[in-house]
Structure 1
Amino acid sequence: MQFTPGPTAVPPSVREAMAEVQPNPDVDPAFADRYEDLCEKLADVYETTRDVVVLGGEGILGLEAAIASLVAPGDRVLCVSNGLYGDGFADFVESYDGTAELVSAPYDEGYDLEAIETTLEDAADAGEPFELATLVHCETPTGALNEMGPVLDLLEEHDVLSVVDAVSSLGGTPVPTDRIDVCLGASQKCFSAPPGLTTAAISDRAWDRMEERDPASLYTNFLPWRDVSDGFPYTHLSANVAALDAALDRLLEEGLESVFERHANAAERCRERGAELGLESYPDPERSSPTVTAFHLPGEAKEVQQRVADEEDVVLATGLGDLEDDILRIGHMGFNADVEKVDRAMDAVEAVLD
């Protein structure tokens, strides 16, 4: 069994939808109708009336496309970070000839609001304001869920566009989409569809910024997706669209409040079981996401992961980067956000630790 924080286990009904004969995405009106319906369902999950688009490419495409679409050479971008993906936004900015200013906090702590406010004020006083700011809602490599409200307050005060990576939280916990200019999601996390699609809810002022920029790229560019009434920018992934459509049907049929509660219950159970085994959460449970739990096993995570796979036939994840051998991660998102399934995963961990 697989309990990774993405790609997640895919339920049978979603696999069946993907295996059906698909309409031709280039010429068949049935595909255009399905795409339109899909975007409407996604808007319900995002809890927004803003434009929602779906691009062919896994979640990282959305992060890069947001930067490629919004950042012109020389633009100043505030990259707020307390994790690997927050740091990674700065790399994207630099690759598109923007100037990234990284305001970092330790990976096991929340955002440094005082440093963010000071950086914004200093930039305004110097006459060099930021065009854009990037944030990560759920830092999947550490299981941290960042509080968006206070940072978004500061960005609104300074009239700075916001891009938020909500790939690992969307569909598992509330996301303040209507306060975010580009809110990014993906098919392979809480939706429990196969990897291959990027989703984005985009504000009018973000669209306006893209129109002003007129980005040169085709694939890493949201702008061609603003109006697809005359056709799609490139051949879409029809089978993946069918799978995501079926996955969203499952989620919406259950109801968002029930889905969020199910994720919260699964997370609570996972951490209770971990505490019984003497495992320390990373970060502390109050800052941990309802979609993934990270346990701190310094120098032992990779060995425990391998033994759980070999001896118990359960696939877990470790940390990334410098924390690869220090963090063991259990994904309880989407189809696996279930207390009984969490118990199966933690039974496997307990057997190995014993």
Structure 2
Amino acid sequence: MLMTPGPTAVPEPVRDAMSRELINPDVDPRFREIYDRLTGRLATVYGVDPSVPAAEGGRDVVALGGEGILGLEAAVASLVEPGTEVLCLSNGLYGEGFADFVESYGGDATLVAADHDEPLPLDALDEALTADGADFDLATMVHCETPTGTLNDVEAALDRIDAAADSEILTVVDAVSSLGGVSVPTDRIDVCLGASQKCFSAPPGLATAAVSDRAWAAMEARDPHELYANFLPFRDVSDGFPYTHLTTEVVALDEALGLLLDEGLDAVRERHAAAARRCRERGAELGLETVPSPERSSPTVTAFEVPGRAEALQERLREEYDVILATGLGDGAEDILRVGHMGHNARVERVEETMDALADVL
């Protein structure tokens, strides 16, 4: 049983959709119909009106062919050039990764960071925004830091950015492991990033984004020369896609989103919250602590502290119980064991089975 925080288990209707006859996305008009339906469904999940384009104050939703990290890099590649000043707010691996991307594209990254088990450093953010000479073009942050299971208060950070800069700073938010399981303030974000393999329970292969008109204008002014790591060619695909799209992944995500919307977003989010509560209740019964406090932990993933035992526990769970969990990343690889109760796996009965197995191997 796959209980990792992405990729998640893919339900049978999605697998069935993937087995249908292949559509050629370059010549078959049916593909454009599927893609349009997909982006409309994505807009609903993002919480924006699909009938209101970015040019009229809404958000344009796009889906690029590539795993979720492509979205993070494409956002930077589309908006950053030498001399671009970027504030990277971070309390985890992916927040720090934004700064690496910025520097790789020649931008000037100012990393405002807290320890990985701490909240976003809002006081330090205020100081950076009001420092002499501060003139940021862009700010990046992460909604759910998957390696630690932390759900960040991005709205508080956006409040401070708006207040200090009169909303002139463009914002990029990685919502890859929260979108679909948690409400995301997309209407306040210029580029809000998602991916197929997390809460949607589709296979890895698509990076999604909801893009504001301000962000499109900045991309056009920047005129990025990248092909794959570039959102701009997807702004208007009425005459075709910039490259052969990933047909099967588009069909799969469209089907997965149909299942999610049939269930209803409120019901889906409550299902995630219930699975998270039960996972942490069972963990507390076993004497396990979460990396951030339960109040700051995401409804989509729980990271338990198991100092020095993560890989051994992961191996025993896989070999003895056929339960697949994830360890931490980077410095937390040996000390954190992560349960992914997201997407199709955000069900109390799956959490119970997982925690029964974990109880036996501890």
| Superposition TM-score, scaled by structure 2 size | 0.96
1:131 corresponds, among 137, 140, 149, to 137
Q: What corresponds to 1:227 in structure 2?
A: 236
Structure 2 Cα separation of the partners of residues 179 and 289 of structure 1: 20
Q: How far does the alpha carbon of each residue in 1:63-118 deviate from its partner, in whole angstroms, 9 at most, with x for none?
A: 00000000111111000000000010010000000011100011111011110011
Q: Deviations over 1:289-334 (max 9, x none)?
A: 0000000011111111111111111110000000100100000000
Match of 1:119 in 2: 128
| Structure 1 residue 149: Cα displacement | 1.0
C-alpha separation between the residues in 2 aligned to 1:168 and 1:188?
A: 9
Q: Verify: 1:57 aligned to 2:63, yes or no.
A: no
Aligned to 2:311: 302
- What do residues 105-140 of structure 1 show as CA deviations (whole Å, max 9, x unaligned)? 111110111100110111xx31x4011010000000
Q: 1:21-170 maps to which residues of 2 (within 5 A)?
A: 21-49=21-49, 50-122=59-131, 125-126=132-133, 128-157=134-163, 158=165, 159-170=168-179
Q: Distance in 2 between matches of 1:244 and 1:216?
A: 28
Matched residue SS, 1:281: coil
1:352 corresponds to 2:361: yes
Out of 282, 285, 290, which is 1:273 matched to? 282
Q: Secondary structure at the match of 1:25?
A: coil
Separation in structure 2 between the aligned mates of residue 136 and residue 54 of structure 1, nearest angstrom: 19
Equivalence for 2:194: 185
Q: 296, 299, 319: which one pairs with 1:290?
A: 299
Q: Which residue identity is paired with 1:150? A: A
Look up the SS of the partner of 1:280 in the other structure: coil
SS in 1 for 2:140: strand
1:22 to partner: Cα distance: 2.6
SS where residue 208 of structure 2 aligns? strand
Q: CA separation in 1, counterparts of 2:63 and 2:159?
A: 28
Q: What amino acid does structure 1 have at the position aligned with 2:178?
A: S
Percent identical across equivalent pairs?
67
Residue 257 in 1 paired to residue 259 in 2? no
What SS does structure 1 have at the residue aligned with 2:230?
coil
Tell me, in whole angstroms, the C-alpha distance in 2 between the residues paired with 1:37 and 1:323: 40
Q: CA deviation at 1:216?
A: 0.6
- Asked if 1:240 corresponds to 2:246, the answer is no
Asked if structure 2 preserves the Cα contact closer than 8 Å seen for 1:155 and 1:161, the reply is: no
The answer to whether structure 1 residue 334 and structure 2 residue 343 are counterparts is yes
The answer to whether residue 2 in structure 2 is matched with residue 2 in structure 1 is: yes
Aligned residues, how many? 350
What are structure 1's unaligned runs of at least 5 residues? Answer: none
> What is the Cα-based RMSD across aligned positions, in Å?
0.7
CA–CA distance in structure 2, aligned partners of residues 68 and 197 of structure 1: 17
Paired residue for 2:20? 20
How big is the shift at 1:150? Answer: 1.1
Q: Distance in 1 between matches of 2:36 and 2:319?
A: 44
Letter in 2 for 1:221: N
The separation in 1 between residues aligned to 2:81 and 2:161, in whole angstroms, is: 19
- Name the SS of the counterpart of 1:68 in structure 2: helix
